[in-house]
Amino acid sequence: MSNSITFNVTDPVLAMQVAELIARYEGKSTNPQTEPQPTEGNEPLVGITNGRRVEVPHGEQLWHNYLGTDLHATVENGMIRFGDKIYDSPSKAALVAGLTVNKSCNTPNGYKWWNVKRDGKWIPIEKLAK
pLDDT of residue 50: 74
d(CA 46, CA 116) in angstroms, rounded, equals 14
For residues 79 and 122, is the Cβ–Cβ distance under 8 A?
no
pLDDT of residue 65: 96
pLDDT of residue 130: 82
pLDDT of residue 1: 47
pTM of the predicted model as reported, rounded to 2 decimal places:
0.68
pLDDT in tens, 66-124: 999 999 999 998 899 999 999 989 999 999 999 999 988 887 899 999 999 999 999 99
Q: Strand (E) positions, the chain? A: 45-49, 52-56, 61-66, 69-76, 79-82, 85-87, 115-118, 121-124
